[in-house]
Structure 1
Amino acid sequence: MVENRRFLDILAHAVLLLGVLAVAFPVYVAFVASTHPSSDFVSGVVPLLPGSEGLATYREVLAGGGSTQMSVPIALALKNSLIMALAIALGKIAISILSAYAIVWFRFPLRQLAFWAIFITLMLPVEVRIVPTFKVVADLGLLNSYAGLSVPLIASATATFLFRQVFLTIPDELMEAARIDGAGPIRFFRDVLVPLSQTNIAALFVILFIYGWNQYLWPILITTDDSFTTVVAGIKRMADVTDGEPRWNDIMATAMLAMAPPALVVIVMQRLFVKGLVETEK
């Protein structure tokens, strides 16, 4: 039984507020830094109040990159990251839900072996297989392309496992009823399983979109053409200045722009995201 004490309520709210401040304060500092001239950071003292250069800084980085190390506009880098993240998220969901459907609802030889072969790939992260993956992509001529950025990352054992667990909760009687009504495997999948999995699809989409958006190692390895630079790799490139001081206002403005799309996806899909993670009954 949970005791209802005012002291415990105050303590819980204080801990929550401290957590929010710990997360939000660096974001606020980045925003403030993006509104001041770069010269304000030479002394090492970061202002805590917004300046007057915000609109000019954001306009500069969106249109021209804002740095001698970044030869393409940040708007193009944002577009590249968006295409890559959407391709990875949608590709992972499509392949995983079809794989789970085949494993759960079809009876074929070595069905369980196929599932465990997929599941074992969880022990092989991108960093372990990055050299052979790069060799395959290079041999296929997919360097400096959206396909090269996204296709090697669209297989997901985790998503396959999650969809399999969802499908196992659906009774076989539902399949029998659909079969009596004349529904074939494709129609059963389209009209029954996909609608029942909407919340799980939404939750996975949020997670996988952020995963694709935050990719750093693979994009810098697979692209040599600046026109395919992603925004996360662009932030690192803007900070690598050999002569002179980094333009921290441009870097912070780019960081704020890079945070906006994932935050927007989470906000828009928050209800479905939470429901998909906590829902246990179908």
Structure 2
Amino acid sequence: MVENRPWANFFAHLTLMVGVAVVVFPVYVALVASTQAPGDLLRGTLPMLPGAHGIENFTRMWQSGVSNAGAPPAGTMLWNSFIMAMAITVGKLSISLLSAFAIVYFRFRFRMFFFWLIFITLMLPVEVRIIPTFQVVADLNMLNSFAGLSIPLIASATATFLFRQFFMTIPEEMLEAARVDGAGPLKFFKDILMPLSITNIAALFVIMFIYGWNQYLWPLLITTDPDYYTIVMGIQRMTSEENPQWHLIMAAVVMAALPPVLVILFMQRLFVKGLTETEK
């Protein structure tokens, strides 16, 4: 029996509203700061209402950036971050889907050994193997390139494990029916497994896109050409200069936050279904 307790509902909603306010307030502060004049933020106080220089600051940051900080225009850095995040996301999903498909549906020697070998790589993130990975990338002449930014981060043991677990829940009757209809392995994968995996793919797409978008250490290590700077690198360089232009930095921060937010908003329904539903 569910009891109706108005005071409990009130405190629950109050807690949620306080939590939302704590999360949203820093974003609002960054948005307000991005609309101020150059000298307004050096006074030690921040207005709580947006200023009149928002369009000017965003336009300047998008087109020319902060040249004295060594960072290219924000438009270039956002494009670089987008290419890197999409390459990592698509690469991770493609490799993980195919490897999970092979492990579940093909009977070859040592298949479980290879699965656990993939799974053990969870203990070796890029920060642990960064020096040998850098050496390999340098030897292959992939420094200052999109291939160098994305390929070393493509492998994903987590996605392989999740797809494997999902494929194991699919009834054997589907595989037998596909065989009776004359479908080969690739047709079974394309026409049956892929449509059933849409929600899982969407959930992992959101997670991996944000993972790729927020990368900082690896791009910082292998990139010396400003034409390949990502937006996270650019923001760090702007904040480390002697006299940071905070109104432009906050404009870059707001622009950097928009793509992940848009991805989450557009894929929210599939993202939630992929994480919560067991019946596809």
Asked if Structure 1 and Structure 2 have the same fold, meaning a TM-score greater than 0.5 normalized by the shorter chain, the answer is: yes
Corresponding letter in the other structure for 1:257: M
Q: Give CA-to-partner distance per residue, 1:31-84, whole Å, 9 cap, x none.
A: 000000121111221111100000000000000013510441110000000000
| Pick aligned residue for 1:274 from 255, 269, 272 | 272
Q: How far has the Cα of 1:224 moved from its partner?
A: 0.5
Q: How far has the Cα of 1:130 moved from its partner?
A: 0.5
Is it true that 1:251 corresponds to 2:249 in the alignment?
yes
Counterpart position of 2:171: 171
Asked if 2 retains the 8 angstrom alpha-carbon contact of 1:70 and 1:237, the reply is: yes
C-alpha distance in 2 between matches for 1:207 and 1:2: 35
Is it true that 1:114 corresponds to 2:128 in the alignment?
no
Q: How far has the Cα of 1:153 moved from its partner?
A: 0.3
Counterparts in 2 of 1:50-199, with a 5 A limit?
A: 50-199=50-199
Asked if 2 retains the 8 angstrom alpha-carbon contact of 1:35 and 1:54, the reply is: yes
- Mark the runs of 5 or more structure 1 residues left unpaired by the alignment: none
C-alpha distance in 2 between matches for 1:119 and 1:45: 50
Q: Which runs of 4+ in 1 moved over 4 A?
A: none
Asked if 2 retains the 8 angstrom alpha-carbon contact of 1:78 and 1:230, the reply is: yes
Corresponding letter in the other structure for 1:192: I
C-alpha distance in 2 between matches for 1:51 and 1:142: 44
C-alpha distance in 2 between matches for 1:238 and 1:2: 55
Identical residues among aligned pairs (%) = 61
Q: Give CA-to-partner distance per residue, 1:195-251, whole Å, 9 cap, x none.
A: 100010011001000000000000010100000000011100010112xx2110001
Secondary structure at the aligned position of 1:38 is classed as coil
Counterpart position of 1:261: 259
Counterpart position of 2:241: 241
For the aligned residue pairs, the C-alpha RMSD in angstroms reads 0.9
Secondary structure at the aligned position of 1:127 is classed as coil
Q: How far has the Cα of 1:99 moved from its partner?
A: 0.3
More off after superposition, 41-50 vs 208-217:
41-50
Corresponding letter in the other structure for 1:49: L
C-alpha distance in 2 between matches for 1:220 and 1:71: 12
C-alpha distance in 1 between matches for 2:48 and 2:3: 41
Asked if 1 retains the 8 angstrom alpha-carbon contact of 2:71 and 2:226, the reply is: yes
Q: How far has the Cα of 1:160 moved from its partner?
A: 0.2
Secondary structure at the aligned position of 2:166 is classed as helix
Q: How far has the Cα of 1:4 moved from its partner?
A: 1.7
Counterpart position of 1:207: 207
Secondary structure at the aligned position of 1:143 is classed as coil
Asked if 2 retains the 8 angstrom alpha-carbon contact of 1:67 and 1:250, the reply is: no
C-alpha distance in 1 between matches for 2:216 and 2:46: 27
C-alpha distance in 2 between matches for 1:260 and 1:199: 23
Is it true that 1:12 corresponds to 2:43 in the alignment?
no
TM-score, scaled to structure 2: 0.98
